Amino acid sequence: MNKINIILITFVLSFSLQLSSFSQNIPGSFADLAERLMPSVVNISTTTTITTQSNPFPFQFPPGSPFEDMFKEFGAPQERKSAALGSGFIIDEKGIVVTNNHVISDAEDIIVRVNGDKEFKAKVIGADPLSDIAILQLETKEKFIPVKFGNSDKARIGDWVIAIGNPFGLGGTVTSGIISARNRSIGLSRYEDYIQTDASINSGNSGGPLFDMNGDVIGINTAILGRSGSIGIGFSIPSNSAKVVIDQLIKFGETKRGWLGVRIQDVTKEIAEIEKLDEPRGALVASVASNSPSEKAGVKAGDIILEFNGERIQEMKQLPIIVARTEVGKKVKVKIWRDKKEIIKTITLGRLETSEDYKVAEKEKSQKEFEIKSLKILVREVTKEDIKSRNLPNQTSGLVITKINNDSPLFNSVEVNSIILEAQKKKIKTINDLDQAVKKVLGSNQKTMLLVIYNIENSREYIGINLD
């Protein structure tokens, strides 16, 4: 009996010690940390003029009507002011502010509120849509309290974090949580390596900082999963990825990303087996751009890139991120799997922003976009460049989705750059085709719509959405 008592006492003591150790890792309060960091987090408000075409008639003509175009000229353009809110943080005492590009994109006026009361005008000194990062300069000679960046690579799943920002315009709001996951891709941009957190992030938090327990910025809060607000799934740009872009924007006013000149895809289990690769890893070269750094170095379609500049490529998505942050003009060693053996190629990196790949993307981007208000998306018509670059059938027509709002009925089903081909089993060729299809569904008793799309992998998919 004594032995049983001793064992029981030992177990209780051991459990108590473990519980005590666990409780010591739980912050008793975030108050001191929040108090120290709040003066460095700012609220951002922007205004943009939007021009719309008014309809002078209390009715609409059906699509294809001979009167539809005739009466468009009677509609006078109308201007209205659109306001947006976001967050940011100060990284230099001279008033340099980091935020998301989508917070200030197309803004005519930018007002930054510091420490809840002082307001300053700000100008954009650099912006990068590809990473969704922008740098502002406050137009004042006042000195500010900056925060510093931490090492996001050292952040671990389960670590405590706090977010500070301007949700719904409320200003100075602190929320806490943990790092839920790392290396997330959600289809918003070319370079995705998001930190996922369950710290509450809502509309207006965009551009605000995600802090570790040392008070260092390890992420820029950028997106949430959920249409109406936080459901405990938010995404932040890792500080180590962001800092490369931020430094370039401050120094040059633009980015200078490394460029290989290859189109890549995942290495599947089947491809790994065929190529006698030990496991599915690396990035499969689908095509090589003419006169690109890769072509000059002898890289071929069908090669599998296993390492870049000494960094192992486990997943395809890693390669663009690593290449982009590598200095332009640098000679790098690239390990390639070809003909069932490893070979090494030396590649002198070009610059993405001056490449043909980028020029085509910019040309497409410059095309006029249209808002489908009921779907809460922006779209543009498919171009010849789309057909060529994506190897689509020559007769492809439809609408390329360029932006999906968080509260869009498509948010959880479709990715940006997907192409809408059909709606309600009718081909979509123009903006008006889709607009009329949506209006017809909204005017019926059945509020569901069937879409046919090409996803970002050019696979044909049927998507059902609810328009309630």
Cβ within 8 Å of residue 381, ≥6 positions away: 367, 397, 398, 399, 400, 429, 430, 431
Task: Domain 36-138: give its CATH architecture.
Answer: Beta Barrel (2.40)
CA distances from 139 to 44, 94, 207, 362, 377 (A): 14, 9, 19, 30, 34
Phi, psi of 210 (to 5 degrees): -110, 120
User: Positive or negative, the Cα torsion across 436, 442, 445, 446?
Assistant: positive
Measured distance CA(178)–CA(199) in Å, rounded: 7
CA atoms within 13 A on the CB side of 389: 18
Look up residue 56 and give its two tokens: 């002078």
Measured distance CA(315)–CA(280) in Å, rounded: 8
Measured distance CA(178)–CA(236) in Å, rounded: 12
Nearest to 280 by CA among 288, 269, 291: 269
CATH class, domain 258-354, is mainly beta
Measured distance CA(166)–CA(90) in Å, rounded: 14
- Is the full-model pTM beyond 0.85? no
Measured distance CA(260)–CA(293) in Å, rounded: 6
Nearest to 242 by CA among 222, 264, 214: 222
User: Would you tell me how many other CB atoms lie within 10 Å of the CB of residue 2?
Assistant: 6
Which CATH code for domain 152-252?
2.40.10.10
Measured distance CA(158)–CA(162) in Å, rounded: 13
- 367-466: CATH topology is Pdz3 Domain (2.30.42)
Equal CATH topology for 258-354 and 367-466: yes
Measured distance CA(208)–CA(339) in Å, rounded: 48
Catalytic residue among 87, 128, 131, 132: 132
DSSP three-state, residue 71: coil
Q: Which helix (H) or strand (E) holds 18?
A: helix 2-24
- pLDDT attached to residue 114: 94
Catalytic residue among 102, 236, 303, 386: 102
Measured distance CA(196)–CA(157) in Å, rounded: 9
SS percent in the chain: helix, strand, coil, step 5: 25, 35, 40
DSSP three-state, residue 313: coil
Residues (pLDDT < 50) of the chain are 12, 15, 17, 19, 21-23, 61, 63-64
- Confirm whether 206 is a catalytic residue: yes
- Contact indicator for 100, 90 with CB cutoff of 8 Å: no
- pLDDT attached to residue 78: 59
- pLDDT attached to residue 416: 86
- pLDDT attached to residue 80: 60
In 130-212 the beta strands, taken as DSSP E runs, fall at 133-138, 160-165, 173-184, 194-197, 209-211
Catalytic residue among 206, 236, 241, 355: 206
- Contact indicator for 382, 397 with CB cutoff of 8 Å: yes
- Contact indicator for 303, 282 with CB cutoff of 8 Å: no
Chain segment 366-411, per-residue pLDDT in tens: 567 888 888 989 999 998 878 877 888 888 999 999 888 878 888 8
Domain limits, the chain: 36-138, 152-252, 258-354, 367-466
